Amino acid sequence: MTDSIKLDYSLRNKEEIFNIPYSKSISNRVLLINYLSKNKLQLERLSQSDDTTLLKSIINSIETKQTSSFNTCNAGTTTRFLIALLSIIQGQWVVNADERMNDRPILPLVNSLQQLGADISINSEQKIFPITIKGTTLKGGKTIKVASSQSSQIVSALSLIAPYCEGGLNIEYPKGQTSLSYIDMTLSIMQNCKIAIKREDNLICIREGEYKFNKEIFEADWSSASFAYALVAISKEIKLFIPGLKEDSLQGDKVVKDIFLNIFGVVTTFTEEGAYIEYSSEVEKQFNEVNFSSCPDLFLPVLVSYICTESQMIFSGLQTLSLKESDRLNNAIQQIEKLNAKTNLEDFVLKVDKSKLCFDNSLKFIPTYNDHRMAMAFSLLAIKDKGIVIENPNCVSKSFPMYWEELSKFFSY
C-alpha cells in the first residue's frame, strides 16, 4: 500500500459481512500462559495483528534459544508481558523497543518486579531501553503495591507470572486504576487455566500453581468491532454482520454496543455465528457523559462518530490516552479542529462544539503518528468529507491487518 490513501465513500451494498480479527488482548495473554503451561496446546486461532505475531515469534525464540535479545518496537502489551516473563526464565536477556516506548509506563512494572527479587538493569540514565534481565526465581508470598494506575497491563503482567513466584503473589492496585476490564479479562483467563485466585476490592490474591489448558481460548475482537459500529453510525445506511462476535465476552470493550445504541442508535442482534448491527431511527438517543477510563481504545471511533452525526455527548476518563502508541488525545483534537470543531479539554474531560463544523471536501491530510487506531478511526471521516487523505495507512497492521480490505467494500482508494 502507498504512503497515503485518499478515500472515496461509495455505497454498493447495504448489507455486508465485516470480518474482524481474533482478540489481540486475549491472544497475547494466552500465548504467555501457553508457554508457561505444562500441557501446551497448538494455538490456531490467534490474532494476526503485528503485536501478537511479534509476541508469538519472541516466545518461539525463547523456547528454541535462537536469541537472547529482542526488540518489541512500540508494542506496549508485548513489552510489559515480555519483561515480566523473562524475569522468571533462566538466562540473560535484553529487551529493546522504539523511542516512543521510553515515554510509556514501564518503570512501575520494573520496580514491582525488582521488589520480588528480579534482576533487571536499565542501561542508560537518559532512557529506559534497552533493559537487561537475568531470569531467576522470584520470591512471592507477599503483597506488591502497584504505584501507577496509568496502565492495567502492569497488573496483568504481574498477575500472569504470579503462579510461578514462590508462595504466589498478592497484588494491590490503585483505587483509580484505569482499564479495569483488562485486568478482569486476565484473571478470568487464568482461572479458566486452573489458577486459584481471590479478589477483594483492589487486592488480588493469586496462589502458586501451574497453568493447565483444556481448550483454546479465543474470541473475535470487540475493539476492532468498534470501527464497524462507527461505520454504521455515520452512514446510517449499512447493515453489517460481524462473524464470531460474542455477547458473553471476556472483553470489556463489548460496552461499545451499549455506547452506540444509546448515543448513536445502532442496534445489535446476536446469533450463534456472530452479530448483526444496523442503525435504527426509532431508538431514543440520549445525551450522555461517557467515561473511557475502562475502555480507552473506544475513544477514537466514538469521537469520529460524534463528529459525523447529530449526537450529543461529553467525553471523560481520558487520562491514559496520551500514553498510547501516540498522544491520541491531543492528536485527535488537532484533527477534528481541522474541520472547524471547537474543543474544550479540562481535567481530562473533553467537550466538542460542532456548531461551526464544516465538511468542505477540500484535501485534509490526516497524520496517523504510526498509530493504528488513529488511521482506522479518521478514515471514517471520508463518509462525510471527500477530502480525507490518511497518511501511513499500513500502521493498521498493528491490530487489524485486513482493515483496508474490509473497508474497500464501501470505499475506493
Residues of the chain with CATH 3.65.10.10: 4-21+220-412, 24-206
Query: pLDDT digits over 288-311, tens only?
Result: 899 999 999 999 999 999 999 999
Domain 24-206 -> CATH class: alpha beta
- The Cα angle at residue 85 between residues 373 and 254, in degrees rounded to 5: 35
- The Cα angle at residue 73 between residues 34 and 391, in degrees rounded to 5: 120
Query: pLDDT digits over 74-117, tens only?
Result: 999 999 999 999 999 999 999 999 999 999 999 999 999 999 99
Q: What pTM was computed for the model?
A: 0.94
Q: Which three cell numbers stand for residue 330?
A: 491531543
Q: Which 3 state secondary structure label does DSSP give 76?
A: helix
Query: pLDDT digits over 329-383, tens only?
Result: 999 999 999 999 999 999 999 999 999 999 999 999 999 999 999 999 999 999 9
Q: How many residues does the chain have?
A: 413
Specify whether domain 4-21+220-412 bears CATH 2.20.25.650: no
Is the previous residue joined to 105 through a cis bond, with omega within 30 degrees of 0?
no
Find, among 306, 302, 336, 307, the residue nearest to 318 by Cα: 302
Q: What is d(CA 382, CA 380) in angstroms, rounded to the nearest whole number?
A: 5
pLDDT the model gives residue 214: 85
Find, among 277, 215, 267, the residue nearest to 243 by Cα: 277
Q: Which three cell numbers stand for residue 394?
A: 499500513
